[in-house]
Amino acid sequence: LASGDGTVRPTIFAEMSALAAATGSANLGQGFPDEDGPAWIREAAVDAIRAGENQYPPGRGIQRLREAIAGHQSRHYGIDLDPDTEVLVTAGATEALTAAILALAGPGDEVVTLEPFYDSHAAAIAMAGATHVTVPLVPSGGGFAVDRAVLSAAVTPHTKLILVNSPHNPTGTVLTREELSDIAATAVAADAIVITDEVYEHLVFDGASHIPIATLPGMRERTLTISSAGKTFSLTGWKVGWVAGPAHLIEAVLAVKQFLTYSGGAPFQPAIASALTDGDADIAELRETLDARRELLLASLTRAGFTSVRPQGTYFVCADATPFLTDAVPDGAAFARWLPAHAGVACVPLSAFCRAGSETADALSNWVRFTFVKDDATLATAIERLETRL
Ligand code: PMP
Ligand code: GLN
């Protein structure tokens, strides 16, 4: 497939969810909520179906949703967008990312990402035939951090794109203004375009604030900002995402998007338009619920014997499984495949977010990721099992 380097393969999330189902495990592997988002938003989609919004929406997305996305960016971040030319609705953030990378990078171009990275980022780079260059984000002082020198060394005259992801899957890191400024300066110096994956933009804790890199000086004109309603409103299966940025870059992404899906999600688009306009209280409630679950999971992992990193954002906690490794279960990947049958809990190894054999893969080889976006009963079952069966 594609690059032939093994990057485009069945995702770890499908494998771990299948294993969780087969073993009756509490699934803290794949990151999706098991409680659906607000009823009033779901009702709005039902109303749209009844009202006949069931045929192809426009390729760019319906006007009302593009206006709501522009309104959301303006209200939360002070980013002003022309909804007609600077916003494109996509089939989730996944399509936005793939269309943007296919549109802007090809053979001979280098695309820089942090490592670990979300798996679809690497797959899209491989499908584009571009070269993937990574900057390690490794445990440091109780968190994960970007090293400025490593970042600037990763950039070459061939660097076409820098792909940022904050809040970051899998580590839960929320990049600081300083880290984002370093990335911005590097992008300007290399004349690179930045693509930023901000799907967890509203899921931040401990007073951390999400800073879109497009708001930094000189960045608006070279940044494509990608997000999705899936995480913000616990409606991951609706696959309503978007990309926002300068009109000429949006045009390029639209050209590719036409031949991936053309358009989609007709009845979901008006419902998400309403959610983005009137759903701020729901977002705040979700953040509080998740914050409490994050605390429960962190405390339980400590009691069970893991060392974990306190995430400032996302759905995820990363933990070092070294105390549980043996000759038969030698690393995080083996541990994640062993845990469901042994303890009735599923997780995901961090090696799935790394390039095989990289320095980061080595540093994180014993680490796994647990999600806390599960209902109270599932989380309680998982916690009880981790504490008594390990
Ligand atoms: N980017 C990141 C970092 C993610 O974690 C996910 C999925 N959870 C996506 C993109 C995909 O988003 P969507 O479901 O909207 O395609
Ligand atoms: N983004 C989710 C996660 O990181 C999974 C989505 C998927 O299965 N592709 O767990």
- Region 209-234: what's the mean pLDDT? 98
In percent, how much of the chain has pLDDT > 90? 94
Ligand 2 binding pocket includes 30 (Cβ within 6 Å): yes
Does residue 4 register a pLDDT over 70?
no
The CATH class that applies to domain 55-277 reads alpha beta
Structure tokens at 91: 């089939």
Ligand 1 binding pocket includes 73 (Cβ within 6 Å): no
Give pairs for 335-338: CB < 8 Å, separation 24+. Answer: 335/366, 335/368, 336/16, 336/29, 336/368, 337/19
Ligand 1 binding pocket includes 169 (Cβ within 6 Å): yes
What is residue 9's predicted lDDT score, i.e. its pLDDT? 84
Q: Give tens-digit pLDDT for 202-212.
A: 999 999 999 99
Average pLDDT of the chain, as a whole number: 96
Ligand 2 binding pocket includes 31 (Cβ within 6 Å): yes
CATH for 12-37+281-389, options being 3.90.1580.10, 3.90.1150.10, 1.10.645.10, 3.30.9.40: 3.90.1150.10
What is residue 141's predicted lDDT score, i.e. its pLDDT? 82
Q: Return the bridge partners of 131, or none.
A: 110
CA 270/CA 53 separation, integer angstroms = 9
Q: Give tens-digit pLDDT for 234-292.
A: 999 999 999 999 999 999 999 999 999 999 999 999 999 999 999 999 999 999 999 99
Residues present in the chain in total: 390
- Counting from 1 in the atom list of ligand 1, the atom nearest the Cα of 168 is 3
CA 275/CA 286 separation, integer angstroms = 13
Segments of the chain assigned E as strands = 26-27, 87-91, 110-115, 131-140, 143-146, 159-165, 193-197, 223-228, 240-244, 307-309, 316-320, 345-346, 348-349, 367-371
Q: Give tens-digit pLDDT for 71-114.
A: 999 999 999 999 999 999 999 999 999 999 999 999 999 999 99
Q: Give tens-digit pLDDT for 314-335.
A: 999 999 999 999 999 999 999 9
> Rounded to the nearest 10 degrees, what angle do helices 92-104 and 247-257 cross at?
110
CA 258/CA 79 separation, integer angstroms = 26
- Whether the CB-CB separation of 23 and 344 falls below 8 Å is answered with yes
Identity of the residue numbered 305: G
The domain locations on the chain are 12-37+281-389, 55-277
In percent, how much of the chain has pLDDT > 70? 99
Instruction: Tell me whether strands 307-309 and 316-320 are parallel, antiparallel or unpaired.
Output: antiparallel
Q: Give tens-digit pLDDT for 167-214.
A: 999 999 999 999 999 999 999 999 999 999 999 999 999 999 999 999
Does residue 33 register a pLDDT over 90?
yes
Q: How confident is the model at residue 3 (pLDDT cuts 50, 70, 90)?
A: low
What is residue 27's predicted lDDT score, i.e. its pLDDT? 97
Look at the block and give the residue holding tokens 């338009």: 273
Q: Percent helix, strand, coil in the chain (nearest 5)?
A: 45, 20, 35
Ligand 2 binding pocket includes 13 (Cβ within 6 Å): yes
Contacts with 93 (C-beta within 8 Å, 6 or more apart), sequence order:
197, 199, 226, 227, 228, 230, 241
What is residue 142's predicted lDDT score, i.e. its pLDDT? 85
CA–centroid distance, 212 to ligand 2, in Å, is: 22
CA–centroid distance, 350 to ligand 2, in Å, is: 13
Q: How confident is the model at residue 60 (pLDDT cuts 50, 70, 90)?
A: very high
Does residue 2 register a pLDDT over 70?
no
Q: Tell me the whole-structure pTM to 2 decimals.
A: 0.98
